[in-house]
Structures are given as C-alpha cells and as structure tokens.
Amino acid sequence: MTSAELKPSEQPEASAAGLPGHRLPAVDLDDWEGIRGSEDGSGLRIAIACSRFNGRVTGRLLKAALVELDRCGVSDGSRTVVWVSGAFELPLAAMALARTRQYDAIICLGAVIRGETSHYDFVAGQCAAGLQRVQLEMSLPVVFGVLTTENLEQALARSGGAVGNKGTESAMTAIEMANLLRQVESTRPGVLDNASAAQKPRQES
C-alpha cells in the first residue's frame, strides 16, 4: 500500500493549527551539542505492523505514516506493511520482522480504547512491554505508535483530528532513530567529539 493510492478524502486531516498531520515539538538546537538522526529516509528500509482491531482508527494512522514516509524519501520498495489481529499481537509481529534483519526500523500501529472491563489495562501494558523488549533485544528501533485512549473520540482526535496524527509522528521517529543508530554505530574512538562539533549549528559572527 502506498500513499499515492489514497483517495483525497482519505488523506490525513489537518491539525487544529492548519498543518497536515502531526509534528514532533520543535527544539532549538543552537545551544545543544551531539549526534542527532536526520529526517532523510532515503535508503532506509521500514516495516509497519498495523492492528486490524479498531480499524477505523488504525487505518488513519497507517495512511498518515505512509504519507510521511513518502515525504521523507522512503521508497515504496523499501517498506513493508503487515497486519495483525490486535495490539496484543504487535510484539510478536515486530519480533518476526526484526529477526529477518531486513529493516532499519519497525513502526507498530494500533489503538486500544478503554471499555467497561480491565481488558484495556492488560492489552496496553503488555503491548508496550513487548515492543520495548523487541527493541532492546534486537537493537532495532521499534516505534510505539499505539494510541491508548479513554474513548473513540480521543482516538479519532489523535489519528488525524485536532490533536494531530500519531502515524505521522511514528514515521518521523522511526526515520530519526534509524539514522541515529547508523551514526552511533559508525562512531569510533576520537570521532564522537568531531561529529558533535560538526553538527552544532554555527554561530553567526
């Protein structure tokens, strides 16, 4: 599935500020040193695991993620979308994808909405813990793009409504973390300080 296949009515809705999708909070880097992953997705291989449960919400997350991958230069042939039944199954799918060693990052999308029982707490908590385990065991960015909300209205607001779109944010995070790990892994003794200094914005004289 590609963002080009989306109908105009299916494109991610604008945020309350009139901007498409959702953007991570801006940070003024003028006074910060260090290595930071870029937003250039060229050459990256990204997998997306998406839950079919609460599909009205997760479909919107997926569409936004694909649009963002397009924007950042991740080609159609460099991304894979797999579907699972629900959020509880996302960690297993993420582990299977990670073990192929074919991807630079994995985006996991889902929506867990609180009901009248405690089912919500078990699913949301175990999903988050499972994805964290995959990320740490495989040393691979596994992005938690799972909405955990009190009701459907909150979920819709965070999947293309007034609060933005978690799918867009998740795609951005995946690309940034994949690039960050590439940079860190290529760092050798004596290179860190040079890399940090090189990435610090120059002060105007």
Rounded to two decimals, the pTM is 0.78
Q: Which amino acid is at 105?
A: A
pLDDT at 12 over 60: no
The single residue of 52, 56, 99, 119 carrying the catalytic annotation is 119
pLDDT at 120 over 50: yes
What residues does each domain of the chain span? 42-199
Collect contacts of 57-60 with beta carbons under 8 A, ≥24 apart: 57/111, 57/113, 57/147, 57/152, 57/155, 57/156, 57/159, 58/109, 58/110, 58/111, 58/159, 60/12, 60/156, 60/159, 60/160, 60/165, 60/167
Provide the pLDDT for residue 188. 61
**Measured distance CA(147)–CA(90) in Å, rounded:** 13
To the query of whether residue 119 is one of the catalytic residues in this protein, the response is yes
Tokens 């990435």 label which residue?
199
Topology (CATH level 3) of domain 42-199: Rossmann fold (3.40.50)
Cα end-to-end distance, the chain, whole Å: 49
**Measured distance CA(192)–CA(30) in Å, rounded:** 18
* Chain segment 165-181, per-residue pLDDT in tens: 999 999 999 999 999 99
pLDDT at 10 over 50: no
For residues 47-61, average pLDDT: 97
Provide the pLDDT for residue 167. 98
**Who has greater pLDDT, 26 or 35?**
35
For residues 80-87, average pLDDT: 97
**Who has greater pLDDT, 6 or 122?**
122
What one-character-per-residue DSSP string does 121-165 give? HHHHHHHHHHHHHHHHHHTS-EEEEEEEESSHHHHHHTEEETTEE
